[in-house]
Amino acid sequence: MALFLTGMAGQPPRQPPSFVITGARIADGTGAPLVTASVRVEGDTIAAVGAVTPRPGEPVIEGTGLVLAPGFIDTHNHSSSGLEVEPAAVSQVSQGITTVAVGPDGSSPWPVGEYLQRLRAKPPTVNVATFAGHATIRREIIGYDYKRPATPDEVTRMAALVTQAMNEGAFGLSSGLEYEVGSYSATDEVVTMARAAGAKGGIYISHIRDEADLAMDAIREAITIGEQGKVPVQITHIKLGTVGVWGQANQAVAMVEAARTRGVDVTADAYPYLAWQSTPRVLIPNKRHTDSASVRRGLDDIGGAKNVQITRWGAHPEFVEKRLDEAARLLGVSDIEAYIRFQGDEESGMIGHAMTEADLRTFYRQPWVMVASDGGIANNHPRGAGTFPRVLGQLVREQRWMTLPEAIHKMSGMPAARLGLRDRGAVKLGMKADLVLFDPATVTDRATFEQPRALSTGIQRVWVNGALVWTGTAVTEARPGRVLTRK
- Confirm if 242 and 273 have CB atoms less than 8 A apart: no
- The yes-or-no verdict on residue 360 having pLDDT over 60 is yes
**CB-based contacts of 411, cutoff 8 Å, min separation 6:** 69, 72, 73, 96, 370, 371, 388, 391
Residue 167: phi, psi to the nearest 5? -65, -25
Half-sphere exposure of 178 (CA within 13 A, CB side): 29
- Confirm if 127 and 465 have CB atoms less than 8 A apart: yes
- The yes-or-no verdict on residue 237 having pLDDT over 50 is yes
Q: What is the pLDDT of residue 16?
A: 84
- Confirm if 16 and 481 have CB atoms less than 8 A apart: no
Separation CA 85–CA 347 (nearest Å): 20
DSSP 8-state assignment for residue 18: E
> How much of the chain, in percent, has pLDDT values that exceed 70?
97
- The yes-or-no verdict on residue 2 having pLDDT over 80 is no
Cis, peptide link before residue 13, omega less than 30° from 0: no
- Confirm if 302 and 355 have CB atoms less than 8 A apart: no
Q: What is the pLDDT of residue 421?
A: 98
Banded pLDDT at 7 (limits 50, 70, 90): very low
DSSP 8-state assignment for residue 257: H
Q: Is 125 helix (H, G, I), strand (E, B) or coil?
A: coil
pLDDT tens digits, one per residue of 262-319: 999 999 999 999 998 889 999 998 999 999 999 999 999 999 999 999 999 999 999 9
Mean pLDDT of 382-406: 98
Q: What is the pLDDT of residue 486?
A: 86
Spell out a b/e string for 94-123, using b for 16 or more CB atoms within 10 Å of the CB, else e. bbbbbbbbbbbbbbbbbbbeebbeebeeeb
Q: What is the pLDDT of residue 8?
A: 37
Mean pLDDT of 237-255: 96
Q: What is the pLDDT of residue 12?
A: 56
- The yes-or-no verdict on residue 10 having pLDDT over 50 is no
* Strand ranges inside 28-71, DSSP E: 35-42, 45-50, 60-62, 67-70
Banded pLDDT at 13 (limits 50, 70, 90): low
Banded pLDDT at 236 (limits 50, 70, 90): very high
Adjacent-strand bridge partners of 207: 176
Sign, CA torsion 91/95/101/104: negative
Banded pLDDT at 1 (limits 50, 70, 90): very low
pLDDT tens digits, one per residue of 32-72: 999 999 999 999 999 999 999 999 999 999 999 999 999 99
